[in-house]
């Protein structure tokens, strides 16, 4: 059953659940929130596949995910939430190239494990293999979390079946997408000729080989925008903030911390300061609170807490020819707390709120 060809999404036959994400990590991963919230978690971010059964020791302090891990996780889960309307698949004896209509192509080499594959602005560790007539592809979103695709072709009717599973220690969602062969001909059965490529020129540019008129003045580049170099210029204009709190799972609850209580306290400090707060979103400038708690001997707790203000920007890099999406860290504070559960919980909450108030003061001072 050949996967090759162009395929169009059949929305009637496909599944579109309201939420798609990884399950909560039972070992206290800082990114264990159901739904795999996107963006720069813990510094907004490869590791084993879904079959890894190795358990991490409970006493180990798990560090927040890196910015690269969070960006990769967001990219891969967003692809699952918003499937392409059309897929083009090219199969050769050595490789498979999958190109979504509005995304970056990826070329895989079935049989190779832990292959680094560049997909647009991210690089993911990938394992692809043929299992009879079906192709299985696993993309490592971050350590212990894999987005697994299984491509098969049914014959009656001929359809491409794409089963997607988010595999992690806490489980994950599954979804099935169905694609029909994309139409390629005219109503009378003849093939439509591809239109010639269209040359799009920027304003004032001349076609290749054309010469400017003798009287035409030399073109000049637009002046570059001045850079705001005032102190805390990146904080100017902030009036609303997203709020994301992660890591307050079962282990943190044993250490005197509750997600709803902490979220309510942080939200109140921000709203009292005049900000509009959008909970559980990182689509714009947002405050990210990450909690990482472990229980030590004699019932004592040790908790790492980080409070970070993130935003997003598009900018060219020294090695890129076009702007790329960047996550920008505007402010950050972090620390450690320890003690009995009640003492630990109170200490962490107090310190987090102090950091929030410090951020609020700096934002207000920048906007005077």
Instruction: Mark whether 171 and 240 lie in a shared domain.
Output: no
Q: In sequence order, what are the residues at sequence separation of 6 or more whose Cβ sits closer than 8 angstroms to the Cβ of residue 12? A: none
CA gap 227, 220 in Å, rounded: 21
Give the position of tokens 């080499």.
109
318, part of any domain: yes
Which CATH number goes with the domain that contains 168? 2.40.128.20
Q: How many CA atoms are closer than 13 Å to the CA of 121, on its beta-carbon side?
A: 22
Instruction: Mark whether 171 and 307 lie in a shared domain.
Output: no
266, part of any domain: yes
Percentage of the chain exceeding pLDDT 70: 76
218, part of any domain: no
Spatial CA neighbour of 182 closest among 97, 99, 93, 109: 99
Which position has the higher pLDDT, 254 or 186?
Answer: 254
Phi, psi of 364 (to 5 degrees): -65, -40
State how far Cα 178 lies from the chain centre. 24
Instruction: Mark whether 260 and 358 lie in a shared domain.
Output: yes
Local structure of 84: helix, strand or coil:
coil
Query: pLDDT at position 55, please?
Result: 41
Query: pLDDT at position 64, please?
Result: 59
Instruction: Mark whether 301 and 154 lie in a shared domain.
Output: no
pLDDT digits 0-9 by tens, 289-309? 999 988 876 778 889 999 999
Instruction: Mark whether 254 and 150 lie in a shared domain.
Output: no
144, part of any domain: yes
206, part of any domain: no
Total domains in the fold of the chain: 2
Among 181, 196, 212, give the residue marking a domain's end.
181
Instruction: Mark whether 96 and 242 lie in a shared domain.
Output: no
Q: Most confidently modeled of 61-65, 200-204, 323-327?
A: 323-327
Can you give the C-alpha Rg of the chain in angstroms?
25
Instruction: Mark whether 104 and 173 lie in a shared domain.
Output: yes
Q: In sequence order, what are the residues at sequence separation of 6 or more whose Cβ sits closer than 8 angstroms to the Cβ of residue 112? A: 127, 128
Instruction: Mark whether 281 and 173 lie in a shared domain.
Output: no
pLDDT, mean of residues 259-263: 91
Query: pLDDT at position 153, please?
Result: 94
CA gap 48, 140 in Å, rounded: 7
* Residue 102 reports pLDDT greater than 80: no
Domain that holds residue 331: 233-366
Query: pLDDT at position 38, please?
Result: 37
136, part of any domain: yes
Which CATH number goes with the domain that contains 336? 3.40.50
State how far Cα 91 lies from the chain centre. 28
192, part of any domain: no
Query: pLDDT at position 101, please?
Result: 87
Tokens of 57: 């020791």
Mean pLDDT score across all residues of the chain: 80
224, part of any domain: no
Asked if 179 contacts 8 with a C-beta cutoff of 8 angstroms, the reply is: yes
Q: What is the pTM of this model?
A: 0.45
Query: pLDDT at position 162, please?
Result: 96
What confidence tier does 37 reach under pLDDT thresholds 50, 70, 90?
A: very low
Instruction: Mark whether 242 and 171 lie in a shared domain.
Output: no
Which position has the higher pLDDT, 203 or 62?
Answer: 203
């Amino acid at each position: 059953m050949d996967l090759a060809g162009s395929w169009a999404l059949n929305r009637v036959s496909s599944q579109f659940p309201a939420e798609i994400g990884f399950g909560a990590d039972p070992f206290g991963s800082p990114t264990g929130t159901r739904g795999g919230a996107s963006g720069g978690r813990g510094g907004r971010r490869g590791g084993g596949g879904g079959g890894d059964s190795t358990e991490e020791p409970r006493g180990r302090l798990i560090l927040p995910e890196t910015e690269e891990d969070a960006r990769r996780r967001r990219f891969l889960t967003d692809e699952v939430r918003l499937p392409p309307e059309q897929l083009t698949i090219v199969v050769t004896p050595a490789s498979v190239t999958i190109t979504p209509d509005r995304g970056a192509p990826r070329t895989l080499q079935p049989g190779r494990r832990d292959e680094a594959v560049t997909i647009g602005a991210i690089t993911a560790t990938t394992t692809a293999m043929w299992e009879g007539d079906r192709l299985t592809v696993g993309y490592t979103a971050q350590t212990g979390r894999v987005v697994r695709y299984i491509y098969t072709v049914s014959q009656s009717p001929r359809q491409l079946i794409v089963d997607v599973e988010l595999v992690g220690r806490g489980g994950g969602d599954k979804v099935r997408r169905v694609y029909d062969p994309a139409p390629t001909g005219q109503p009378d059965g003849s093939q439509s000729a591809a239109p010639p490529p269209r040359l799009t020129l920027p304003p004032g540019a001349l076609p290749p080989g054309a010469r400017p008129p003798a009287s035409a003045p030399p073109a000049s580049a637009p002046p570059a925008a001045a850079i705001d170099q005032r102190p805390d210029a990146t904080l100017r204009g902030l009036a609303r903030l997203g709020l994301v709190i992660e890591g307050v799972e079962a282990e943190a609850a044993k250490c005197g911390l509750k997600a709803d209580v902490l979220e309510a306290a942080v939200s109140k400090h921000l709203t009292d300061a005049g900000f509009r707060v959008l909970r559980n979103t990182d689509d714009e400038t947002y405050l990210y609170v990450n909690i990482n708690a472990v229980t030590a001997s004699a019932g004592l707790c040790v908790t790492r807490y980080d409070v970070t203000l993130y935003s997003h920007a598009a900018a060219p890099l020294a090695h890129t020819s076009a702007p790329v999406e960047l996550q920008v860290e505007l402010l950050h504070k972090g620390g450690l707390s320890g003690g009995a559960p009640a003492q630990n919980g109170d200490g962490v909450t107090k310190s987090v709120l102090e950091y929030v108030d410090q951020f609020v003061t700096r934002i207000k001072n920048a906007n005077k």
